[in-house]
């Protein structure tokens, strides 16, 4: 997306302020909404949290809900990013056999793990309809953002709303 450093710093400041305003343990819907509305290429934004070998959807924003509200660690691009604990940035999802299809229009997907030291707590997952929508500046921004989410991720994991 060619995010300038200035925009990146501003976005990180805004995300910190948004997280600080909310009650601890609140899910990630507001953050996803803020990301989607702030960044035109972020067509669908979700946060998954990892518990018991499964990624659970803990907040999302987009035109449509996904049927993949829980994803086993062995599946999809989401599983890959969590297993290998690295950012997965796919220019064209049609070229990746492990891709789990959610939306017909999706061409690009970026998945960034939320790491607490050596432990993966979950990930940010973003889809977009353009091919090659995300570049190194998205990777860097989302990796920095993911560090801001560790505390919140821990508190949502304690609550584990998907078990209710």
Decide if residue 61 touches ligand SME (CB under 6 A): no
Binding pattern for the stretch 12-51 against ligand SME, x by CB under 6 A and - elsewhere: ----------------------------------x-----
Question: Pick from 7, 30, 100, 150: which binds ligand SME (CB under 6 A)?
Answer: 100
Using rule CB under 6 A, residue 78 touches ligand SME: yes
Q: Let me know: does 18 contact 30? Beta carbons within 8 Å.
A: yes
Instruction: Name the token pair of 113.
Output: 């793990």
Contact pick of 29, 33, 41, 68 for ligand SME (by CB under 6 A): 68
In the bound complex, what is the minimum distance in angstroms from residue 90's beta carbon to ligand SME?
8
- Put the strands of the sheet holding 88-90 in their side by side order: 70-72, 54-61, 44-51, 119-128, 108-116, 88-90
Q: What is the Cα–Cα distance from 50 to 121, expressed in whole angstroms? A: 5
Do the Cβ atoms of 114 and 124 come closer than 8 Å? Answer: yes
| Least separation in angstroms between CB 46 and ligand SME | 5
From 66, 130, 137, 139, residue interacting with ligand SME (rule: CB under 6 A): 66
Q: Does 99 bind ligand SME (CB under 6 A)?
A: yes
SS3 61: strand
The dihedral through the CA atoms of 150, 83, 158, 127 has a sign that is positive
Per CB under 6 A, the segment of 25-33, 71-79, 139-147, 155-163 that binds ligand SME is: 71-79
- From the centroid of its chain, how far is CA 122? 8
Binding site for ligand SME (CB under 6 A): 46, 66, 68, 71, 76-78, 99-100, 102, 109, 125, 127
């Amino acid at each position: 997306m060619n995010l300038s450093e200035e925009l990146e710093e501003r976005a990180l400041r805004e995300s910190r302020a948004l997280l600080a305003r909310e009650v601890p343990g609140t899910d990630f819907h507001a953050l996803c909404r803020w990301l989607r509305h702030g960044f035109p290429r972020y067509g669908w934004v979700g946060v998954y949290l990892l518990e018991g070998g499964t990624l659970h959807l803990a907040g999302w924003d987009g035109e449509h809900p996904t049927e993949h509200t829980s994803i086993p660690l062995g599946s999809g691009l989401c599983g890959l990013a969590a297993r290998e604990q690295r950012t997965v940035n796919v220019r064209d999802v049609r070229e990746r056999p492990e891709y789990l299809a959610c939306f017909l229009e999706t061409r690009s997907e970026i998945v960034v793990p939320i790491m607490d030291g050596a432990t993966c707590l979950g990930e940010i997952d973003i889809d977009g309809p353009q091919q090659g929508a995300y570049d190194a500046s998205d990777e860097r921004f989302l990796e920095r953002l993911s560090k801001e989410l560790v505390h919140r991720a821990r508190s949502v994991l304690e609550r584990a709303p998907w078990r209710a």
